[in-house]
C-alpha cells in the first residue's frame, strides 16, 4: 500500500513544480488565476553590445532589449504575478535578486520585451564553449522565458527567440540547446516550429526525505576545503570524460565556477575520504535561496491526496507535503562525482539527513538516465522522475551528431 502511495499520489506535486520551472505554456491557468506563461529553456550566444530591436504588433511597438540591473524590481514583480500550475498553483519569488538564476554562468544575458515602457516578457541565455564527440564548439543555453498573461498570443516569445538567434548568429554561435518536460506540448510545438529538434531524453530525479538514514560505510565524510580543489576537479573530470556538453575543469576554472554560484561554496560540497584519498564529492545547492516557491492552491483532488498522505503518516513515516501558504523547499545536487558507488550512496544518505534537519521537501538531480548516478539514486525510497527532452538547433548549415547513444552532461546551473 505504501508503495502505491509513493508512486501514485506524490508525483503530481513534483510534476507541476518541474513544469513550472521549465515549461512554456505547459499548464493553462484560468483567468482568475492571472498566471503567466513562464519557461526555462536553453540558449546559446556570445553577445556583444546592448542593442535593442523594435517590432510592431498592431498599433503598439514592442521593444526587445537587454535587461539591466535597474529592471530587477520590475522583473520580480512580473514573476510574482505569475503563479504556475493548475492542480498545484505555485507562486515564484526571485527577490531580492532576479538575476541570481543567471549568475552561475560566465557569459549570460537577459532580454526583456517592452511595450509602453512596461516589461511584458523576458528570456535569457548563457553562452559557453563545450564539447560534442570531442569537438569543441560554441553553444548557448536558453532559459527563463516569461510572458505577461495580458500579452499572451501576441508572439512575444517568438520575438524574443528570434532576437536571441540573430545575436547568436552575429557572434558565431554554433548550436542552441534547451530542455523541456515531455508533456509540455505547447512548448515543444513552439520550439519545433522554430527549428529545434529533440536529440536526447534526460531525467530529473527528486528524492523526498522522510526518515533519517543510517550511515554504514567506513570512511570520513566532511566539507570540502580549498586544499581539495585538485582532487575534486580530477574526480569530476574523470566521471564525465567523453560526455557531450562537458568541458573539463582546470582547478582555477573550478574555483571561479563555484564563486559565481549564489549561496554555494566549498562548505556546500561534501567529500568522502578513505585512507586519505577522496573517493566522492557531492554539492548541495540551497536553491530556495535563489528562487522561492510558495504553495498557493491545491485543487480538490490533490487536496484529498495530501490528506491521505497525512493520514498514513499517523502510522508510518511519510514525506511532508506543504500546505497552501507554506514554502516548497528544495536542494539541487551539484558537482557529483565518485569512484565507487558505495561512497556516493553514503554522501546521499548524509544529504537526506541534512535535508530532514532543515525541513527540505525535495532533493533534485537532473542527469542522463544512463549515467551511473541514476542507479545509485534508485536505491532510495520516495522519489519521483520527470523526463526532459533535450532539443538543439544548429545556426549554420552544418549538422551536429545526435547524442542519442552517447551520455550528456547536465550542469546544475542549467537545470
**Cα→Cα distances 93→8, 79, 288, Å:** 29, 7, 10
Banded model confidence at residue 13, pLDDT cuts 50, 70, 90: very low
Whether omega before 73 lies within 30 degrees of 0, making that bond cis, reads no
**Rounded CA separation 138/140 (Å):** 7
| CA-wise closest residue to 22 among 378, 392, 367, 390 | 390
| CA-wise closest residue to 389 among 184, 125, 137 | 184
Would you give the distance in Å from CA 294 to the centre of its chain? 17
Dump pLDDT digits (tens) for 247-269: 999 999 999 999 999 999 999 99
Banded model confidence at residue 66, pLDDT cuts 50, 70, 90: very high
Tell me what pLDDT residue 9 has.
31
Residue 220 carries which DSSP code? E
Q: Would you call 405 exposed, middle or buried from its count of C-beta atoms within 10 A (0-12, 13-18, 19+)?
A: exposed
Q: Highest-confidence range of 80-84, 254-258, 304-308, by mean pLDDT? A: 254-258
Tell me what pLDDT residue 401 has.
65
User: Other C-beta atoms within 10 Å of 131: how many?
Assistant: 17
User: Other C-beta atoms within 10 Å of 182: how many?
Assistant: 13
Q: Write b or e for each residue in 47-72: b if 16 or more Cβ atoms lie within 10 A of its Cβ, otherwise e.
A: beeeeeeebeeeeeebbbbbbeeebb
Question: For the chain, what are the domain ranges?
Answer: 2-201+390-405, 207-299+328-386
User: Other C-beta atoms within 10 Å of 353: how many?
Assistant: 16
Across the range 393-412, mean pLDDT stands at: 81
Residue 47 has pLDDT above 50, yes or no: no
Tell me what pLDDT residue 316 has.
85
**Rounded CA separation 80/148 (Å):** 11
Query: 185-194, 279-288, 289-298, 306-315 — which is least confidently predicted?
Result: 306-315
Share of the chain above pLDDT 90, in %: 64
User: Other C-beta atoms within 10 Å of 31: how many?
Assistant: 7
Distance between the two ends of the chain, CA-based, in angstroms? Answer: 33
Tell me what pLDDT residue 398 has.
66
Tell me what pLDDT residue 25 has.
33
Residue 363 has pLDDT above 90, yes or no: yes
Q: Do domains 2-201+390-405 and 207-299+328-386 have the same CATH topology?
A: yes
DSSP per position, 265-330: SGGGEEEEEETTEEEEEEEEE-GGGTSEEEEEEE-HHHHHHHHHHHHHTTTS--PPPPPTTSEE-E
Dump pLDDT digits (tens) for 167-217: 888 888 899 999 988 877 888 999 999 999 999 999 999 999 999 999 987
Would you give the distance in Å from CA 232 to the centre of its chain? 23
Banded model confidence at residue 1, pLDDT cuts 50, 70, 90: very low
Residue 59 carries which DSSP code? T
Banded model confidence at residue 60, pLDDT cuts 50, 70, 90: confident
Alpha helices in 102-222 (DSSP H): 156-170, 185-193
Tell me what pLDDT residue 406 has.
87
**Rounded CA separation 232/255 (Å):** 11
Across the range 222-229, mean pLDDT stands at: 96
Across the range 34-45, mean pLDDT stands at: 37
Q: Quickly tell me which residue has 529533440 as its cell.
A: 198
Average of per-residue pLDDT values in the chain: 84
| CATH architecture for the domain at 2-201+390-405 | 3-Layer(aba) Sandwich (3.40)
Residue 312 has pLDDT above 70, yes or no: yes
Tell me what pLDDT residue 127 has.
94
**Rounded CA separation 206/377 (Å):** 9
**Cα→Cα distances 27→33, 111, 187, 201, 388, Å:** 12, 23, 10, 21, 16
Number of alpha helices (DSSP H) and beta strands (DSSP E) in the chain: 10, 17
**Rounded CA separation 229/258 (Å):** 11
Share of the chain above pLDDT 70, in %: 83
Residue 40 has pLDDT above 80, yes or no: no
Tell me what pLDDT residue 384 has.
83
Banded model confidence at residue 106, pLDDT cuts 50, 70, 90: very high
Task: Read off the pTM.
Answer: 0.83
Dump pLDDT digits (tens) for 171-185: 888 999 999 888 778
Question: What fold is seen in the domain 207-299+328-386?
Answer: Aminopeptidase (3.40.630)
- Four-point Cα dihedral 390, 393, 394, 400, nearest 10: 30
Dump pLDDT digits (tens) for 322-332: 889 999 999 99
Amino acid at each position: 500500500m505504501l508503495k502505491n502511495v509513493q508512486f501514485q499520489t506524490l508525483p503530481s506535486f513534483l510534476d507541476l513544480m518541474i513544469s513550472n520551472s521549465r515549461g512554456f505554456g505547459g499548464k493553462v491557468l484560468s483567468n482568475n488565476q492571472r498566471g503567466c506563461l513562464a519557461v526555462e529553456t536553453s540558449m546559446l550566444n556570445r553577445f556583444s553590445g546592448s542593442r535593442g530591436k523594435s517590432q510592431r504588433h498592431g498599433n503598439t511597438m514592442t521593444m526587445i532589449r537587454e535587461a539591466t540591473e535597474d529592471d530587477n524590481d520590475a522583473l520580480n514583480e512580473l514573476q510574482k504575478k505569475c503563479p504556475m500550475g493548475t492542480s498545484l498553483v505555485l507562486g515564484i519569488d526571485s527577490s531580492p535578486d532576479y538575476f541570481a538564476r543567471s549568475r552561475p554562468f560566465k557569459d549570460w544575458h537577459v532580454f526583456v520585451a517592452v511595450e509602453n515602457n512596461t516589461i511584458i516578457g523576458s528570456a535569457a541565455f548563457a553562452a559557453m564553449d563545450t564539447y560534442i564527440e570531442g569537438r569543441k564548439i560554441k553553444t548557448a543555453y536558453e532559459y527563463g522565458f516569461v510572458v505577461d498573461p495580458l500579452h499572451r498570443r501576441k508572439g512575444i516569445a517568438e520575438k524574443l527567440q528570434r532576437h536571441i538567434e540573430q545575436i547568436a548568429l552575429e557572434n558565431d554561435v554554433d548550436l542552441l540547446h534547451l530542455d523541456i518536460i515531455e508533456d509540455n506540448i505547447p512548448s515543444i510545438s513552439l520550439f519545433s516550429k522554430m527549428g529545434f529538434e529533440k536529440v536526447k531524453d534526460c531525467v530529473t530525479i527528486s528524492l523526498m526525505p522522510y526518515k533519517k538514514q543510517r550511515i554504514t560505510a567506513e570512511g570520513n565524510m566532511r566539507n570540502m576545503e580549498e586544499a581539495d580543489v585538485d582532487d575534486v576537479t580530477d574526480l569530476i573530470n574523470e566521471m564525465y570524460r567523453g560526455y557531450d556538453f562537458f568541458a573539463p575543469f582546470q582547478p582555477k576554472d573550478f574555483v571561479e565556477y563555484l564563486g559565481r554560484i549564489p549561496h554555494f561554496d566549498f562548505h556546500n560540497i561534501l567529500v568522502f575520504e578513505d585512507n586519505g584519498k577522496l573517493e566522492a564529492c557531492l554539492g548541495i545547492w540551497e536553491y530556495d535561496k535563489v528562487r522561492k516557491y510558495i504553495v498557493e492552491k491545491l485543487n480538490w483532488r490533490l487536496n484529498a491526496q495530501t490528506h491521505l498522505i497525512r493520514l498514513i503518516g499517523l502510522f508510518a513515516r511519510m514525506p511532508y507535503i506543504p500546505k497552501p501558504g507554506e514554502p516548497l523547499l528544495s536542494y539541487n545536487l551539484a558537482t557529483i562525482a565518485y569512484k565507487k558507488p558505495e561512497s556516493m550512496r553514503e554522501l546521499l544518505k548524509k544529504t537526506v539527513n541534512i535535508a530532514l534537519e532543515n525541513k527540505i521537501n525535495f532533493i533534485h538531480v537532473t542527469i542522463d538516465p544512463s549515467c551511473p548516478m541514476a542507479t545509485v539514486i534508485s536505491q532510495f525510497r520516495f522519489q519521483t522522475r520527470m523526463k526532459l527532452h533535450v532539443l538543439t538547433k544548429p545556426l549554420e548549415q552544418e549538422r551536429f551528431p545526435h547524442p542519442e547513444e552517447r551520455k550528456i552532461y547536465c550542469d546544475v546551473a542549467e537545470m
